[in-house]
Amino acid sequence: MSWSVRVERVQPFRVMRLLEEAQAREAAGYDVIHLEIGEPDFPTPESVIAAGQQALAAGHTRYTPACGLPALREAIAGHYAEHFGARVDPARILITPGASGALLLASQLLVQRGDRVLMADPTYPCNRHFMALAEADIDCVTVGPESGWQLDASLIERHWRDTTRLAMLATPSNPTGHMLDAERLGAVAEAVGSRGGELLVDEIYQGLTFDAAPVSATALTPDAFVINSFSKYFGMTGWRLGWLVAPEAAVEPLTRLAQNVFLAAPTPSQHAALAAFTPECRDELERRRRELHRRRDVLLAGLERLGLAPSLPPQGAFYVWLDVSRHTRDSQDFCRRLLEEENVAITPGIDFAVRGGEHHVRIAFTNDCARLEEAVMRLERFLARL
């Protein structure tokens, strides 16, 4: 049986296979430390769960409008106004089934066969794959410490072609945890706009920053497409809820797409998400952000002792991107052996980087400090045997 050419352009997400193997070892009685998946160990905040339960009890289980509950769109607009000074019309906000739903809408609207898309290398692999499904050609621009692990304005100017249609950024980024400040993000928007292109910004880790205040493209330009999610900062991974902020002219075609692709985001999840913007929930989310900051510092201290700490510490999200070239040129084998020999699960860099992934790994500091310290001890034992 043959499949479409589009599907052949989508590579497997190897971390999911590694997660299955780690869970199988755990089920067999091994003490596995999970640092592989992009999901913190925090549960959904109690106030959000309670709001979801109340929504179910009240019978809020029918479809919402395709763009989402008006009250939730207004709450998100208020969030942008309060925290970023951005005036975003709620009509420009589309509620989607996870950030993936937003990325699907944006990719189908913005690119087609023959268009080129600029994005950083490394990046979240699904960013590449969604654009490939839209039949665009991807220009993966290698980034490193010299550009702060980001696709900045100078790189856009250097790599832009006549057929380039879109530049996609992620700030803070997965897998590196680095971000663009307002000045550099504004310069990117100007560089893209001056070339007649479109800018798509992934901000799903926006609330999780440690060394600087978070930045949103919504405060800098009304022309960018901005993706966000309730999964990471708000702790609602399994609720499958995200949103897309779009320029005014794009709302109507995006609504048509949403109506046909997924009809509407999950209704109980939307009602639950309203509680995420209350002062009570905000206090709890900020406590969790501070705990992730502490975990980052504990992990970096341990990696420093092993001579593995990155030259630029991650500024946000909950990942450390490590160069392990002193020890291996096969990150998949490195991660497999670390799991089998020391029961520590981390992610091979080949999931994220087209170039250089074979000697990088990603560690998610999604476990408590004691477990992170134990993971470093196990990693030290493992490295001593290589």
Cα(351)–Cα(240) distance, integer angstroms? 22
Distances (CA, A) of 362 to 32, 332, 341, 351: 17, 11, 18, 9
- Residues of CATH 3.40.640.10 domain(s) within the chain? 46-277
Strand order in the sheet with 319-323: 319-323, 360-364, 347-348
The tens digit of pLDDT for each residue in 138-167 reads: 999 999 999 999 999 999 999 999 999 999
Output the pLDDT for position 7: 82
**Rounded to an integer, what distance in angstroms lies between the CA atom of residue 205 and that of residue 228?**
8
Render the burial of 265-281: b for 16+ CB within 10 Å, e for the rest: bbbbbbbbbbbbbeeeb
Q: Which helix (H) or strand (E) holds 94?
A: strand 93-96
**Amino acid letter, residue 131:** M
Query: What CA–CA distances, in Å, run from 156 to 196, 303, 357?
Result: 13, 33, 22
260: number of Cβ within 10 Å: 10
Residue percentage of the chain with pLDDT more than 70: 100
The fold for domain 46-277 equals Aspartate Aminotransferase; domain 2 (3.40.640)
pTM of the model: 0.96
Domain with CATH 3.90.1150.10 in the chain: 5-43+281-384
Q: In degrees rounded to 5, what are phi and psi of residue 87?
A: -100, 100
Give per-residue pLDDT as tens, 4-35: 888 877 877 778 888 999 999 999 999 999 99
Domain 5-43+281-384 bears CATH identifier 3.90.1150.10: yes
Task: Give the model's pLDDT for residue 6.
Answer: 82
- pLDDT score for 1: 74
Position 14 scores a pLDDT of 78
Residue for token pair 């550009």: 147
φ, ψ (nearest 5 deg) of residue 345: -105, 115
Q: What SS3 string covers 46-97?
A: HHHHHHHHHHHHCCCCCCCCCCCCHHHHHHHHHHHHHHHCCCCCHHHEEEEC
Share of the chain above pLDDT 90, in %: 93
pLDDT number for residue 13: 79
Give the model's pLDDT for residue 55.
98
Kindly give the parts of the chain with pLDDT less than 50.
none
What pLDDT is stored for residue 81 in this prediction? Answer: 98
